[in-house]
């Protein structure tokens, strides 16, 4: 059985979903059963899974946001590119 501190160290140094299955399984069991650190580390794992989900959607280009380059920035960038090419 692995210890709470080992789970903490592994999650601090790795993204849960990138760990090989033979490291993930004992961690998964520990997190499910441990009354001391289970709740805390479950939330760390939830976040890491959320970030993976975000990165996948970002990769696919389907994160809808309302953020855009300002007209002023576009003008400045266009000007700089014109001078460069």
Partner 1 sequence: MAENNPNHPETWLEEHGDYLFQFAFVRLRNRAAAEDAVQETFLAGIKALERYDGSTPIRYWLRGILRHKVVDYIRTASREIAVDETEGKEILDSLKFKAFGIPDQHPPPWKFDPGHAYEQTEFWEVFYGCMSKLKESMGRAFTLRELEGWPTEEICKELNLTPNNLWVILHRARTQLKACLEANWTEV
Cα 29 from Cα 8, distance rounded (Å):
14
Greatest CA separation for the chain = 63
> Is the CB of residue 12 less than 8 Å from the CB of residue 41?
no
Binding site for partner 1 (CB under 8 A): 4-5, 7-9, 12-13, 15, 18, 36-37, 39-41, 43-44, 46-51, 53-55, 57-58, 61-65, 67-70, 73-74, 76-78, 80-81, 84-85
Q: How far is the CB of 6 from partner 1 (least distance, A)?
A: 8
Q: Nearest Cα to 46, choosing from 36, 35, 38, 34?
A: 38
Shortest separation between residue 77's beta carbon and partner 1, angstroms: 5
Q: How far is the CB of 36 from partner 1 (least distance, A)?
A: 5
């Amino acid at each position: 059985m692995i210890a709470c501190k080992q789970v903490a160290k592994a999650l601090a140094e790795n993204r849960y979903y990138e760990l090989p299955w033979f490291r993930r399984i004992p961690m998964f069991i520990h997190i499910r059963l441990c009354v001391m650190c289970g709740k805390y580390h479950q939330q760390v794992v939830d976040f890491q899974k959320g970030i993976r989900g975000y990165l996948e959607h970002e990769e696919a280009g389907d994160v809808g946001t309302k953020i855009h380059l300002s007209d002023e920035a576009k003008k400045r960038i266009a000007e700089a590119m014109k001078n460069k090419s």
